[in-house]
Structure 1
């Protein structure tokens, strides 16, 4: 069999691809055809240097902030774009006009959940290779293959792709690489690997059925990165024979620097924009990433003091909605992570539903055109909530002329301190996220809600920052230092050990705890926890899917 693969590569001497994971030989052959490999080689060769440049630009901008002491601000050299009232993004296709409720964190390698999502009444599905997905080779191949099956109406029980919830495909972010493919001596950029395969196999079919190709773009930090994506879209459409503007993309504004460039990001993607999205936890974590070594930007306990009602997050959402609607672009809110209890008509069920409704009403009143939920049972209640408080397919008519957001508003840290509960919660989320990754999963369930890389980012960011600034606990004035965090992590191991039913699962959990401590005790802040894990030999050694790992992970996830 592998002699056949060897023959495929004779024309691609500068490209290497590892053999398929166990059990995925047929899916591998479907994905990696002669045509798709040639396309990937061209795509990556064309844009790899530009990917490196935007990553270097990130380093340069961070160094400037550190050395100068400057704060983020609206750019002077692009003021003409912001002050020009005339330009607009192109209207989105009909299937994107009404997306009140999307399903978020849908890792498509989870075949059964993916099928349930396709059968659901949701307007859209965030088909996720980023925050909610662990990017093992197995998961990437299985996930992309499942999307191909869905687009070709080959998954059991799903409606035709033109009638199913619209697929919003989210490739990995720029910080991720694909270890299993080398192009001209370098590992392939993760987002180009994902985007290239999805477009080659699904782009034309989705377009023919007026159902795409539509994308989410994660962790964009500047209009230069939006410009690069636009160049990739234009090149891809030309190569695949699609009309200009066929691809539409929603940019997730989950970085404090990007907040000051939202108009410019829309401007760069005018022909391909599907709007902007709020991502509260990655956005909050970006403050620690870019400014966290400064005491003025000490972020208090997120479980008690950080939410969309606080000035810096409310200003961010208001500005995003105003910016989008001013340019006729859709503005979407974040994901409800809470899970409804299985027992209906109980106090706990009513309490969780009321909490989700209250938070989503904040977004509806701000003018968003839709938002996401994780729990499929929240789809109908949230659609009813949206429809009962709005009129029409979206809220583009709400221009939010009342909004006046200043840099001070966006950079105003909420008041508050650190609680023992919040510290322990952050440690638990960080450790359990790494444990999930080592188990081949990108998200897990903890205390009634879904946790993914976004919540892991803010959790480990806060622990690192609290140690860095020697924050004191509100409870008893203890200093948050290396010893306290280490002791609390060991306590967590004791609490979780009864849920580990094999020596392998116990060892994996302790490995996860060791890796978490390594991340939060570092002198310098690792920029992304996913990059850190993706480059770590421990994660790479765990990539082969084993059933016992998945079963043990399921047991831990129910905590």
Structure 2
């Protein structure tokens, strides 16, 4: 790599082996990416905010007239699947901590989605240790020592590794240049790509990624330009990278063709990111009329009409372009239930995966190793000896109205639904502050996306003073009373340290769910307040600018070298 980019400063604590990841060469590579694209990233994040205001003020979502030619052109296709991505019938999503990494690699899944995003609380230690674990996994040296002294190692059959970096909206406060934090997306992508891309190619696979929370084809174009520059700087052949885009924002659902088109030389498919998609629906229409208010979160399923329209369009769009269509995660945690409940949960997962396969999906996510075989069996019943069903096309008729209308959806909100959202949010946020990003709660695997649904629904119900099925309206007094009651139950018998975490969780919930406006995500605020290394934490009231420091790019760099 030949670049004149200056050396960034590492402000995070250097734990054992961190120097293996944070080498001067790797940091200069990340800095080169940031130097080229920080300005465009800032512009696109500002465009998100402007579009959000327009929708809140009454603008309707529709397919883009300026890109109609791309949608109408049947001739273009995405790149063929990369080596190791031909069969994707079961993808296990798991954080990249050492224990989970070993279990994931031994799970028998076709793909391990190593998640540095929603399933990882992005503390500095978690972020760099995740990179170390991936570094070792790629080199076949990953082991984990149990508390009883037993050593877990990885067997010969290993899933293809796909890494999910953090989204464009997040920053990494522990790596800075001239005091400005870097994009978390570019840090995660850049460190992993620098250390592992060539080694993965040598092993017969390649550098593969999941791209989260993309909101437009212009954001997909930015990712494509990042890929091109990264390959150029390291001498990797253009078109080696493969990326699967999560369609988990409602604006992206209107631009699926365009997203595939922008990434067509590097794309391998789209994924129906169900939990973030539901959250995006609430966030996008939070200020609009009551006709956009969703019911209790457990009442919104993949067969709810607007969700079914979205998945039908996703499968059809993918297969039209030769891309894989991947289903969303089964969130049950089957190991912490009595036998009857466990078998019932496994049956629900089986039915869900069989339905997905019958509807044309080429594979699906699971969030627990115990679900891998169920998912593979469900897809095998449809695929047979084929790797996928990209040749399957079904006649569909999905309109813009179908993607947003709640016609056919029972919009019932219950007191138990409110209480569940409060309880789940408090329990998850307390664990997140403690460094855990994937948490088993009430027999479900919760991550940042599912908790975003909970806190966004609370804000929307409060904003509209929504009426509960039991009669009362959702008011601040009601929410405060439920928070008090849930906290009293959750902290009973806990020591001061754990009780403090719940009080901090309450503070995050009140800041991001009960305030005058609905923040786009809870993570930027909570990260700056609680997860960065203590000497860097901000105290006192935080402004929007405090959590957007990585977007404060000098004017001279706004139109970066890869624009």
Of 427-436 and 266-275, deviating more is: 427-436
- Is the CA contact (8 Å cut-off) linking 1:341 and 1:348 kept in structure 2? no
Tell me which of 67, 80, 90 is aligned to 2:79. 90
Structure-1 residue corresponding to 2:99: 112
Matched, 1:102 2:96: no
Structure-2 residue corresponding to 1:433: 428
Structure-2 residue corresponding to 1:540: 532
Tell me which of 195, 198, 208 is aligned to 2:202. 208
Structure-2 residue corresponding to 1:387: 380
Structure-1 residue corresponding to 2:149: none
Q: What's the offset of the Cα at 1:167?
A: 1.0
Structure-2 residue corresponding to 1:554: none
Tell me which of 308, 313, 328 is aligned to 2:307. 313
Structure-1 residue corresponding to 2:350: 357
Structure-2 residue corresponding to 1:458: 453
Residues of 2 paired with 1:245 and 1:499: CA distance? 56
Structure-2 residue corresponding to 1:281: 275
Structure-2 residue corresponding to 1:416: 411
Structure-1 residue corresponding to 2:18: 28
Q: What's the offset of the Cα at 1:490?
A: 0.8
Matched, 1:370 2:367: no
Q: What's the offset of the Cα at 1:13?
A: 5.5
- Is the CA contact (8 Å cut-off) linking 1:44 and 1:183 kept in structure 2? no
Q: What's the offset of the Cα at 1:434?
A: 1.5
- Is the CA contact (8 Å cut-off) linking 1:124 and 1:168 kept in structure 2? yes
Aligned residues: 521
Q: Deviations over 1:302-334 (max 9, x none)?
A: 344311111100000000000000000000011
Q: Deviations over 1:528-549 (max 9, x none)?
A: 11122123x24436699xxxxx
Q: What's the offset of the Cα at 1:122?
A: 0.5
Q: Deviations over 1:115-160 (max 9, x none)?
A: 0111121001111111100111000110001100111111132246
Q: 1:259 to 1:13 in 2, by over 3 A?
A: closer
Q: 1:416 to 1:499 in 2, by over 3 A?
A: farther
Aligned to 1:78, the other structure's residue is in SS state: helix
- Is the CA contact (8 Å cut-off) linking 1:177 and 1:189 kept in structure 2? yes
- Within 5 Å, give how 1:259-270 maps onto structure 2: 259-270=253-264
Residues of 2 paired with 1:248 and 1:112: CA distance? 26
Aligned to 1:523, the other structure's residue is in SS state: coil
- Is the CA contact (8 Å cut-off) linking 1:45 and 1:183 kept in structure 2? no
Residues of 1 paired with 2:115 and 2:509: CA distance? 24
- Within 5 Å, give how 1:190-201 maps onto structure 2: 190-201=184-195
Aligned to 2:74, the other structure's residue is in SS state: coil
Aligned to 1:103, the other structure's residue is in SS state: strand
Matched, 1:66 2:56: yes
Structure-2 residue corresponding to 1:154: 141
Q: 1:13 to 1:382 in 2, by over 3 A?
A: closer
Aligned to 1:96, the other structure's residue is in SS state: coil
Q: Deviations over 1:254-279 (max 9, x none)?
A: 11100000000000000100110011
Structure-2 residue corresponding to 1:471: 466
Structure-1 residue corresponding to 2:552: none
Q: 1:302 to 1:281 in 2, by over 3 A?
A: farther
Report the TM-score, using the length of structure 1 for normalisation.
0.90
Q: 1:343 to 1:133 in 2, by over 3 A?
A: closer
Q: Deviations over 1:14-64 (max 9, x none)?
A: 62111434xx23x21101112112211211111111111111111121222
Structure-2 residue corresponding to 1:550: none
- Is the CA contact (8 Å cut-off) linking 2:122 and 2:531 kept in structure 1? no
- Is the CA contact (8 Å cut-off) linking 1:134 and 1:441 kept in structure 2? yes
Aligned to 1:321, the other structure's residue is in SS state: helix
Aligned to 2:84, the other structure's residue is in SS state: helix
Structure-1 residue corresponding to 2:547: none
Residues of 1 paired with 2:320 and 2:428: CA distance? 38
Aligned to 1:317, the other structure's residue is in SS state: helix
Q: 1:494 to 1:329 in 2, by over 3 A?
A: same
Residues of 1 paired with 2:351 and 2:468: CA distance? 29
Report the TM-score, using the length of structure 2 for normalisation.
0.89
Q: Deviations over 1:397-446 (max 9, x none)?
A: 2112x211001110112232101111111111211221112101112111
Q: What's the offset of the Cα at 1:343?
A: 7.4
- Is the CA contact (8 Å cut-off) linking 2:330 and 2:366 kept in structure 1? yes
Unaligned runs of 5+ in 2: 144-152, 537-563
Unaligned runs of 5+ in 1: 1-10, 545-559
- Within 5 Å, give how 1:307-346 maps onto structure 2: 307-341=301-335, 346=339
- Is the CA contact (8 Å cut-off) linking 2:297 and 2:454 kept in structure 1? no
- Is the CA contact (8 Å cut-off) linking 2:12 and 2:124 kept in structure 1? no
Residues of 2 paired with 1:297 and 1:201: CA distance? 49
Residues of 2 paired with 1:73 and 1:296: CA distance? 20
Aligned to 2:479, the other structure's residue is in SS state: helix
Q: Deviations over 1:188-223 (max 9, x none)?
A: 000000100000000111112222200000000000
